[in-house]
Amino acid sequence: MRLTSFLSFVVLAIEPCFTTAQRLGTPSYEFLYTVNASLGERWPVGDYGQGSRVVIPITGGTFNGPRLSGTINNLGADWGLTDSKGVFFPDTRYNLRTHDGADIFIQTAGPTQPDGRTLLRGIFQTGHPDYEWLNYIVAIGVLQRPTGDHKGKYVLIDMWQVVLPCQGSECEGLPQSGTVEQPMEPWTMQGV
């Protein structure tokens, strides 16, 4: 009984140290770019028991941000799935080419929200030394689809980098959150 009481006391005494040490702070977001991606004609694959899949070619477009900008190559697609509840889950793979000639592969996926916007997780891969930092970031995006005459012709995606807080020497070499350039106005037709 005395051992149990002693151990309980020790745990209660040191718990604040662990709790404080484990908190890293609230992440912030740094704007990466806005994508204006042109879409081709949809190719329905059909319902295969887990939902209805459709292939949507990504045929081009532009991206523009404070640290990278360029064009979208015509060699990607969205292999999206609509589940039994009617929720669309994009599953994209496409290539970016920066203004200075670097090729960057990107893969995105995420659920469509009730308001019609889609939240995306972005994964980047590149061998270009100027953009290698993209290989190690956590990126999130918000996709919006136009309505009316432009429906299904293009999408806009604002992409953001998740930035952890740091202090002093631990920040050396890490991307820092600072003044953020605002994304383009919705539904601009730059490069499309």
pLDDT tens-digit readout, 34-72: 999 999 999 999 998 889 999 999 999 999 999 999 999
What local confidence, expressed as pLDDT, does residue 3 receive?
A: 54
Confidence of residue 25 (pLDDT cuts 50, 70, 90): confident
What local confidence, expressed as pLDDT, does residue 48 receive?
A: 85
Alpha helices in the chain (DSSP H): 2-22
% the chain with pLDDT above 90: 62
Q: Are 99 and 86 in contact (CB under 8 A)?
A: no
Residue 172 has pLDDT above 90, yes or no: no
Residue 23 has pLDDT above 70, yes or no: no
In one letter, which amino acid is 36? N
Sheet strands (E) in 13-51: 28-39, 43-47
**Range 82-106 average pLDDT:** 96
Chain-wide mean pLDDT for the chain? 83
Three-state DSSP at 3 gives helix
Q: Are 65 and 31 in contact (CB under 8 A)?
A: yes
Residue 116 has pLDDT above 90, yes or no: no
Residue 33 has pLDDT above 90, yes or no: yes
**Range 102-125 average pLDDT:** 95
Q: Are 22 and 38 in contact (CB under 8 A)?
A: no
Residue 187 has pLDDT above 70, yes or no: no
Nearest to 157 by CA among 82, 103, 106: 106
Query: Residue 133 corresponds to which tokens in the numbers above?
Result: 């930092």
CATH numbers and ranges of domains, the chain: 22-171 (2.40.160.20)
Q: Which residue has the tokens 């993209």?
A: 134
Q: From residue 52, how far is each of 40, 77, 81, 114, 179 by CA, in Å?
A: 18, 16, 6, 19, 42
Q: What is the DSSP-derived secondary structure letter of residue 112?
A: B
Residue 118 has pLDDT above 90, yes or no: yes
**Cα–Cα dist 64/32, whole Å:** 8
Widest pairwise Cα distance in the chain: 76
